[in-house]
Structure 1
């Protein structure tokens, strides 16, 4: 299968490199020139546990000159989604599937507006990754599942083919008939810790040591669950505290959320696609979301302060 990754940061490299090592025809597309050059020159160094391997995989700064793909996986930062897919129209053929594995909600609507809803399916992944340097990534793939699906819940040949390609690379993948529920389940976990970690500057160990933070996290998740219920989504997470507990499972004391990492780098965050999506849903279905509104406002204020520096 010919698979292009729009966004070859830590996660794109972790998944793309693993697929390439198993024989998929992968191209990693990313504007980070030193990263692309290192991958093409030396191969992609994938570190997993105490072992490291070098994978030969093609990388490119953009999609210019590439043939249409069988599958385009979108893993750019949420706020770059529209620009990335607009710039990649040349690799979208009549049968190309386009799938986001990004955090948060709302990406599929953007992708559908640009390439047509018939091309788009949804997915969520629990694979992790850390970019150590150009062409060098920690890939947390072992036992980490990816769930994909069609919006209407149908078990299509294309979804099954994608899952089979992942499985062939020892990347656990299943096709769900309730992908919206899967996406909301993952959103609840992001809602529980991302903004609070970013606002307080706390790593997971210290974040989980403050009862007031836990209470606020549970309240934010409860709002998100109410919005999901109002929109007709069936969740597998039944209690707000479960999302808070699940968010920290298997992670070290010093783990930092992506939102905290973005703020520490002076970058804007994906708040609009995480807590912000809860707020938008609340407005649509007339569900109060004061906790999430407050978290969004606080993160926006921090972003504004960093921007002014």
Structure 2
């Protein structure tokens, strides 16, 4: 089994280091800069508690060097994955599966659904149908990521908690390619169930991310504060209720209620959300897959989203003033090629 991890950062590095220990799995990594140089020189180091593991794997910044793979696991943020879609093409053989590990609404969301929205494209996450056309939705396997990891230093990934990567086919089938990948991930020590409706799992994580992330970035507050302060908790609840109505109209089942979801976030403690961390580090904000896509889907099913709209406008404006979100020209519906990484 040939597996390429496209984006060997914190999550991708964690996946790659563990999968490399499995017999019969040939792992390669796409990385860049100092991180890539360190991996090439010393291997990819993974810190789990007091244990240090070193994986000797092929690492490059040029996908064309690797050739077609059985699986390409995309561990980039949504806007980054869109940017490099053309660079993934050399990795794609006739049967290559592409596993999307991004937060939020994936670009293939309406592929394989048995509804009036089948094969509808979402401009908010895939402008100009770039990924749909270059990669192809038939290759997609959904993945919802739960572990918390970070790059401790170039070439060194630190695992904090969690080991679940939920998988699912867009059409809900228990395909051979999904079960084969699940088995490899389980051999590597991960929890990797193949779910009959991956969209339910996508929405469960999205449900919190769409409110907690932007509110924390706007207020600089940690997750426990956002989820317990009366004002930000009420705003989070209102945004989640709007999103739940959209999801329900699209056939999504929410297995927990709003209060339980917010309480679960509060229990995580003084966690700085990924959007807050990106803001502090001057990295492009991941707004569209978490909020703009939900707004777009709301318009699709004729539901208003006043609270989501307001928070989206605020976080977009914050991102633009900081140079961390694309600026949309007045005469165009698509972003300029401004990317700050």
**TM tier, smaller:** over 0.9
2: distance between equivalents of 1:125 and 1:139?
Answer: 13
Shift of 1:156: 0.7
Give the SS at the match of 2:142: strand
Q: Please, which runs of 5 or more residues in structure 1 have no aligned partner? A: none
Provide structure 2 residue ranges, at least 5 long, that are not aligned to the other structure: 110-125, 325-341
Counterpart position of 1:157: 176
- Partner Cα separation in structure 1 for residue 88 and residue 182 of structure 2: 23
How far did 1:159 drift?
0.6
Aligned residue runs from structure 1 range 154-193, under 5 A? 154-193=173-212
Alpha-carbon distance in 2 for matches of 1:279, 1:220:
11
Q: Deviations over 1:275-296 (max 9, x none)?
A: 2221111111011111111111
**Please, what TM-score do these two structures have when normalized by structure 2?**
0.84
RMSD: 1.7
The answer on whether the counterparts of 1:6 and 1:29 sit within 8 Å (CA) in structure 2 is: yes
Q: Judge conservation of contact 2:227–2:265 (CA < 8 Å) in 1.
A: no
Shift of 1:64: 1.8
1:246, 1:272 → 2: CA distance? 24
Aligned to 2:262: 244
Q: 1:78 Cα shift?
A: 1.0
Moved more, 272-281 or 108-117: 108-117
Q: Is the 8 A contact 1:108 1:121 kept in 2?
A: no
Q: Decide whether the 8 Å contact of 1:12 with 1:75 is kept in 2.
A: yes
- Write out aligned runs for 1:1-309 (5 A): 1-23=1-23, 24-30=25-31, 32-108=32-108, 110=126, 111-140=131-160, 142=162, 144-237=163-256, 239-249=257-267, 251-253=268-270, 255-307=271-323
Q: How many angstroms apart in 2 are the aligned matches of 1:73 and 1:96?
A: 10
Assess if the C-alpha contact under 8 Å between 1:267 and 1:303 holds in 2. no
Partner of 1:108: helix, strand, or coil?
Answer: coil
Three-state SS of the structure 1 residue aligned to 2:64 is coil
Instruction: Write the distance in 1 (CA, Å) between the matches of 2:96 and 2:152.
Output: 32
Of 105-114 and 49-58, more deviation after overlay is shown by: 105-114
| 1:123/1:149 contact within 8 Å kept | yes
TM-score by length of 1: 0.93
Aligned length: 303
CA distance in 2, matches of 1:6, 1:84: 10
